[in-house]
A and B are shown apart, each in its own frame.
Chain A
Amino acid sequence: METGKHVMRQISIFSENRPGRLAAIAHALGEEKINILAFSIAEANGFGVVRVLVDQPEKAHEKLLSLGFNTAFTDVIAVKMKDQPGGLYDVAKILGDSGVNIEYSYAYSGKEGAVLILRVDHVDDAIKRIKSSGAALLERSVFH
């Protein structure tokens, strides 16, 4: 099974917990005409990690680096959900049954329907398990 086409390049950015940091990141991406498809903020005491899926990850990474941000690429996968009550349950059950260990996840609901973004331990293995359990994974080309 070809798994590579399902791997998305998420950008993770270290951010101090003070006003204006998210605006600084969003402004930088806007300036480069980079579209943000999904994002989440993980917060710890005093700092956070901003995670974004964008249409042009390389360009976004370069721009943020040039502004001095600590940024890194992270591989994530995106599972399609039904955009209706119970949609998340269906997917969560499949993930649980297939034994995939999730490090973190976030979701959005947009033009292509509802999507659950997942960071997992072993990406290739997780893709195989999720597909054989009957869930649909988005392809990288949908995003970038």
Chain B
Amino acid sequence: MHYGAERIGVTVLPTSVGNTERQIDLMQDLGATAIACTPSYLLHIGEVAEKMGVNIQKDTKLRTGILGAEPWTEGMRARMEEWLGIKAFDIYGTSELSGPMFTECSEQKGVHIWSDLALVEVIDPNSGEPLEPGERGELTITILQKEALSMIRYRIGDISVLDDEVCACGRTHPRIQRIQGRVDDMLIIRGINVFPSQIEYALMAIPDVGQHFQIVVDRKGALDDLLVRFELNKEAFSNKINDLMLIRQNVEHRLRISLNVNVDVELLEPGSLPRFEGKSKKVIDRRAL
């Protein structure tokens, strides 16, 4: 990605993660217009900037975020775009394929797979059989132009849906929809499959919920117990206990509807959950023996 950007004439600052204050200083000093990182790290940058008194929208030239390496949702995109005043694009790849390779176009309607470079198929993770476009399953990739280390129907483990319709941008390269999780991320709660991304999707549609949440799975007796802890949005607070209890009920209700399992929720103060600079760790599974 670094060399690709340089090839098209972009000045690249390989700052990696960490020392976030300094990164924000650099962004201001050098007038950075785009950033590539994980969605969680961009959230972290936004929060650190607020603490420093820096308004990303007004005090920096940032207008593009290229975000990937962990699953994120449309709700999170809408929030980040509004909050930071940027356009946020999804990027996809895995370390086995030399990192990020595919990204969204200006339509922001799924990641284009350059079909002269790679063949992506969606399979049923249990049977290994290919699925139809539009069906959800595990991605496999065949790299068409790699010679030394060939990869044929390599199972990445990510769950998505393939869309082979022509994109509104005019490109005919197929698109994969948002990565909905990994085959090995899937939680089985009382026999029902639950992806952390479904929980994020439901939470991000509720304005009272802040950006950060945590999923805790435990076993109480013979039953799996799903607890979702979320930070209250800074603006969501009224002084009435009743309003807060309604928020909790509403979140429980919405999660139950979208996941089909009962969920306990816990309201947290803003800033109380751990922040991550790389890939975030949102799931704590205490069921392990």
Q: Nearest CB to that of A67 among chain B residues?
A: B271
B95 within 8 A of A: no
Q: Nearest CB to that of A47 among chain B residues?
A: B267
Q: Give the number of residues in A that approach B within 8 Å (Cβ atoms).
A: 21
Q: Are B241 and A70 in contact (CB under 8 A)?
A: no
Query: When the two chains form the complex, which single residue of B237, B267, B272 contacts A72, counting CB atoms closer than 8 Å?
Result: B237
B13 within 8 A of A: no
User: A17 CA to B273 CA in the complex, in Å?
Assistant: 15
User: A12 CA to B244 CA in the complex, in Å?
Assistant: 13
Chain B nearest Cβ from A133, distance in angstroms: 26
Query: When the two chains form the complex, which single residue of A46, A51, A68 contacts B239, counting CB atoms closer than 8 Å?
Result: A51
| Chain A residues within 8 Å of B245, by CB | 44
Q: Nearest CB to that of B267 among chain A residues?
A: A47
Contact with B along A9-49 (1 / 0, CB 8 A): 01010111000010000000000000000000010101111
User: A17 CA to B232 CA in the complex, in Å?
Assistant: 14
Query: When the two chains form the complex, which single residue of A21, A51, A68, A103 contacts B270, counting CB atoms closer than 8 Å?
Result: A68
A74 within 8 A of B: yes
Chain B nearest Cβ from A106, distance in angstroms: 13
B281 within 8 A of A: no
Q: Nearest CB to that of A15 among chain B residues?
A: B269
B238 within 8 A of A: yes
B236 within 8 A of A: yes
Given the contacts A44-B244, A44-B245, A47-B244, A68 and B238 also touching, CB distance less than 8 Å: no
B167 within 8 A of A: no
Q: Are B271 and A68 in contact (CB under 8 A)?
A: yes
A98 within 8 A of B: no
User: A14 CA to B267 CA in the complex, in Å?
Assistant: 10
| Chain B residues within 8 Å of A46, by CB | 266-267
User: A116 CA to B269 CA in the complex, in Å?
Assistant: 29
User: A14 CA to B271 CA in the complex, in Å?
Assistant: 13
Given A44-B244, A68-B271, A70-B269, 19 more A-B residue pairs with CB atoms under 8 Å apart are: A14-B237, A14-B267, A14-B269, A16-B267, A16-B269, A21-B269, A42-B241, A44-B241, A47-B244, A48-B241, A49-B241, A51-B239, A68-B269, A70-B232, A70-B234, A70-B236, A70-B270, A72-B237, A119-B239
A-B residue pairs in contact (CB < 8 Å), sample of 13? A14-B267, A14-B269, A16-B269, A21-B269, A42-B241, A47-B244, A47-B267, A48-B241, A49-B240, A68-B269, A70-B232, A70-B269, A72-B238
